[in-house]
Structure 1
Amino acid sequence: MGPRTTAALEPVGEFGPFDVLATWAYELYYEGRWDEALRDCAAGLTWCDAVGDEQTSRYLLFITGVACLETGRHDAAAGAARTLLARLPDDGEGTGAAAWWRAKGLALLADALGYAGHYGEAMDVLAEAQGIVAVPGASYNHLSATVSVAMAFRSMLLFEHCDDLLAQALHSPRAGPGIVDVVLRNSCLNRLLWGAFLELTGDLAGARRQYLRTLSRTAALASWAERSVHPAVAALALALEGAAWQRLGEPALAEARIREALATPQLLPEFPETRASRLSLALLLAGRGEPAAAREQLSAVRAARCTEDRELWQVLELAAVAEVESAGAGREVVDAWRSLLELTMRRLWRDRAARFESLEHRLRVRLLAEEAERATAQVLTDALTGLGSRRLLQVHLERAEGTGSAAGEVTLVFVDVDEFKAVNDLLSHDVGDRVLARLGRVLAAQCRRGDVPIRFGGDEFVVLLAPGSDPSAGRALGARILDAVRQEEWERIDPRLQVSVSVGAATAPTLREALGSADTAMLSAKRAGRDRLTLA
């Protein structure tokens, strides 16, 4: 797994027929060969777009974005994210594969905006992404999206939000071995960086708690690596464990773990775990009077490209340099280093506090908006049938009258249950309610996309057809409703039950006129013998 670990959560079965192209690109990205990954993504996108493999195209776009971030091409990363988002279909419910991919695209866009210094926009985007992944889900796409958003939070120094999402992913019923690997690794790194941030701001007790939690997570990661016989992950766990021990003041234990990890070929220089362990080793060497060896470790850190969590890594490197160079420097130089570090940390603390407050505000606003939307939906929904309520029809009437005649003609179907009073009187009101609920489902099943079925009141229903519908659409819907009611097995509710409906359909210049005409047509159907359709 490479510097950005989220893409590995996509199982092969959820890719398109040419997912091997994405696999190749990801392997290059994983190995830190970002320019080559970008080249292969561009070639793969050309092919997948030509043959219509949209699933693989999404993955290639995502890899393009994260590889651009690693190479410092923030505008290109934002462009890849926006292209990915623009190509996603509307899944209607906001909880399907398109929604999870939207969260991934938003996380990528937030990262790009943050690296470019557009933190306000990044917080807007992250608030939306958080709202998506907060919806329960158990697919690999959902877990991948959750980790993507978590990593975006960490890049903004919002460690708490990152940890919450990683814990959510870890406890998912679909958290298989690959996901445990990704989540534990990032959880370890998040806790270590969180502790380092607290230490540099002077909260030593808080930092110690995070370092101890890092050790707990690295033990879990090492255990998983041992069970799965995964030497690369074992090296990552060792590197992070060594860094945590160094921070906790255990130099011998820390150095043993770090040197064992660095001797593992799979621990690539670009990995954040490598960076963390080398910075800790530099501090250990400086502490025992080996500044030259410490500088070698710092040079190795600088030689590896670093964009992920850039702000924090820069200040951690600055702190390490200050520690290493202070050994042989005069008091004036040491004070200057420490003053620079203090100023940097103050700025980071202010920035983090502002981002935290901004995100919390946006999340509260979204929560209030969702609650208001749910409350409105309850008012506009009939509790018995699940269709629109009379109030929803009133909203459409008010909206139509506000629009005026320029809105075009309106087609409407009016439905009334025949002899419904007898159903209530002879079979009970409970049977009557069950008839209405079943009829609501029948009506909804016959409607097209854009049609609005509404319980008008009692045993009366109307369907407001989608804008642009003509009389033939109203006639066709009325016929479908009649046929569906006749075919329905009403005797399952009560063996004595027989249900029919009278239907009227009309097209008129305004909604109010269409409603009146359809009502009149329905009454004509009743007078003509019921169980039939009449057109206005």
Structure 2
Amino acid sequence: MITAGTLVPVREFGPFDELSDQAHQHYIDGFAERAVAACRTYQPLARAAGDLSTLRFLLYTESISLMELGRHGDAVDAARTILSLSGPDDHVWRAKALAMVAEASTREGQQSRALGALAEADWAVSAVPSGSYGHISASMAVALALRSVTLFEHADERLCELLHVQDDWIRLLVVHELTELAATWAVSLALLGRVEDARVEFLTTLERSLHMQRLGWTTDSPAMVARGEIYEAFALLNLGEPELALGRALAAKDRFQHRRELLETQLYRLVTAQAATAAGDFERARELLRAAVADATANGREAWVGMGLEALAEVDVAEHGETPATAIWRDLARSALARLWSEREGRFTALQDRDHIRRLTAETDRMGRVVLQDPLTGLGNRRLLVATLEASPRPMSVVFIDVDNFKAVNDQYSHAVGDEVLRRIAQVLRAQCRAEDVIVRYGGDEFIILTAHDDRRARSVAERVHRAIRNHPWDELERGLTVTVSIGVGVPDASTDNPLVAADIALITAKRAGRDQVAGLEAAPDADPADEPAVAPLRRD
């Protein structure tokens, strides 16, 4: 910390931890731009001093602040930098950074990348000792990522598990996130026409907002007290108490900064816009609501975009009565959210599948290399392949890889070179696959990749592997050496429910067509960044 102009090392964290605390406080106070600027100012100092702990915290604060500002791509970049600074056993930082990749990717519309990162983050949290500061911090990050993909029940469960902490400030942060979660959940349900369910969540929002205010007073955080009062006002508005809601909002409005990235700013506009509508000041109501919609759009808050559009429709009704334009406003408000909500079950199932595959892969360590691992390449073996296929709750896609003319490599360059070729192919496969994919050495020069059932993704993985092996610098191993592969892609379909059989047939087709190519399914469209490995450190080298 900094005292009397002197830098004093802090043992538990980094020697420049005070700097990261200052930057993070800007974020907590709602000044995301200031937080980003502070983080970028202090990072060179932490890097030069070798203070890795502070550097990662600064990068994390930068990432969450960038996301609040709607700069989601930059937020992903900052999170990836954290991952590049974290080893495979840095579970806390991997979980937090991957959760940020997931949340920012969701707001960018990159659902596949988001789910892959979220599954890996969830797995990393499970390796952190329960009750530790790191576990609390990482669990909160994962909970917010779950909220971003509208898995509200699971996010709520994760956050509620953290309420036992003794530190009042940390509990205040947890309760604040729980309050925002309840409000977002309530709004989503209301837009979907589930009125009674929405009322339950608005009551929960009210209860949590009061808890937030109590903790704000306990921790001497007047701005957080005021923000809690804004949540209270919004809940009261939706529980049929507009006059009381307006009174609470007006009482709080001068005690926190109305930053556009704060949800509380949007809530204040929604409450006061309703009052303006009731008073017949329709232009003022529209001005407030358009600002709310613009800021919610910039921050990727789709439920709140819908809420603002719905409120705009209500202004039209109040001024002109029901018109065709009103129906258009309401359709706009609900259509995007209805699509996201309809995909919730699929996202949860995808997370379960990825976690299931990840746990099966972890059996390699638990049961020992002899049982499930190929000793030459370190990949899984046929036992792991069979166990995965038999235990998977859903069909899987298979990418079947065969090294072209591998016997010639052994004959011309020696079996030692052939073994090294197989080891390097294994490294390429790890680099080109996601952490949840299962990679096995099927036979002498044959490899298989199992992925969650997705035709487009399976073909994309196959083409990426094909290019990477073809472009690998093989002549660095032996002058004149070239290595190519033939690949077949198979999924369960009407002709066979066995993806291995389908992939084997496709592989034969590739070989008969001249080798060095991919067969099976249609060619993938232009590369989708969501299909790429989420980040380099996800590779299982």
Task: Determine if the TM-score, normalized by the shorter chain, exceeds 0.5.
Answer: yes
Question: How many angstroms does 1:46 deviate by?
Answer: 1.6
Partner Cα separation in structure 2 for residue 268 and residue 398 of structure 1: 54
Contact 1:124-1:359 within 8 A present in 2 as well: no
Aligned length, in residue pairs: 376
Structural mapping, 1:320-469, within 5 Å: 320-329=311-320, 331-332=322-323, 335-367=324-356, 369-371=358-360, 373-374=362-363, 379-380=367-368, 396=375, 405=416
Partner Cα separation in structure 1 for residue 71 and residue 81 of structure 2: 15
Structural mapping, 1:16-165, within 5 Å: 16-91=14-89, 98-135=90-127, 137-165=130-158
SS at match of 1:17: coil
Partner Cα separation in structure 2 for residue 142 and residue 228 of structure 1: 22
Q: Which amino acid aligns with 1:298?
A: L
Please say if 1:243 is aligned against 2:234.
yes
Among 179, 192, 201, the residue aligned to 2:170: 179
1:166 is aligned to 159
Partner Cα separation in structure 2 for residue 365 and residue 161 of structure 1: 16
Partner Cα separation in structure 1 for residue 373 and residue 319 of structure 2: 81
Partner Cα separation in structure 2 for residue 307 and residue 132 of structure 1: 30
Q: Mean Cα displacement is larger for which, 101-110 or 61-70? A: 61-70
Deviations 1:388-425 (A, max 9, x none): 8xx5699749989x9965669xxxxxxxxxxxxxxxxx
What percent of counterpart residues are identical? 33
Question: How many angstroms does 1:302 deviate by?
Answer: 5.9
Partner Cα separation in structure 2 for residue 101 and residue 324 of structure 1: 46
Q: Which amino acid aligns with 1:177?
A: D
Partner Cα separation in structure 2 for residue 100 and residue 22 of structure 1: 17
Partner Cα separation in structure 1 for residue 105 and residue 373 of structure 2: 43
Please say if 1:315 is aligned against 2:313.
no
Contact 1:69-1:112 within 8 A present in 2 as well: yes
Question: How many angstroms does 1:242 deviate by?
Answer: 1.0
SS at match of 1:263: helix
Contact 1:156-1:352 within 8 A present in 2 as well: no
TM-score, normalised by the number of residues in structure 2: 0.63
Structure showing greater Rg: 1
Partner Cα separation in structure 1 for residue 43 and residue 248 of structure 2: 42
Deviations 1:470-498 (A, max 9, x none): xxxxxxxxxxxxxxxxxxxxxxxxxxxxx
2:487 is aligned to none
Please say if 1:272 is aligned against 2:274.
no
Contact 1:34-1:67 within 8 A present in 2 as well: yes
Question: How many angstroms does 1:367 deviate by?
Answer: 2.8
Deviations 1:107-133 (A, max 9, x none): 111122222221111111112212233
Q: Which amino acid aligns with 1:252?
A: E
Taking a change above 3 Å as real, the CA distance of residues 127 and 397 of structure 1, as seen in their structure-2 partners, is closer
Unaligned runs of 5+ in 2: 1-9, 382-409, 421-541
Question: How many angstroms does 1:369 deviate by?
Answer: 4.1
Contact 2:210-2:229 within 8 A present in 1 as well: no
Please say if 1:202 is aligned against 2:193.
yes
Question: How many angstroms does 1:321 deviate by?
Answer: 1.6
Taking a change above 3 Å as real, the CA distance of residues 399 and 34 of structure 1, as seen in their structure-2 partners, is closer
Contact 1:22-1:60 within 8 A present in 2 as well: yes
Among 216, 232, 237, the residue aligned to 1:225: 216
Contact 2:202-2:238 within 8 A present in 1 as well: yes
Contact 2:140-2:174 within 8 A present in 1 as well: yes
Among 201, 216, 220, the residue aligned to 2:207: 216
Partner Cα separation in structure 2 for residue 377 and residue 278 of structure 1: 54
TM-score, normalised by the number of residues in structure 1: 0.63
Contact 1:235-1:266 within 8 A present in 2 as well: no
Q: Which amino acid aligns with 2:146?
A: F
Question: How many angstroms does 1:188 deviate by?
Answer: 0.9
Question: How many angstroms does 1:33 deviate by?
Answer: 4.1
SS at match of 1:327: helix
Partner Cα separation in structure 2 for residue 181 and residue 394 of structure 1: 47
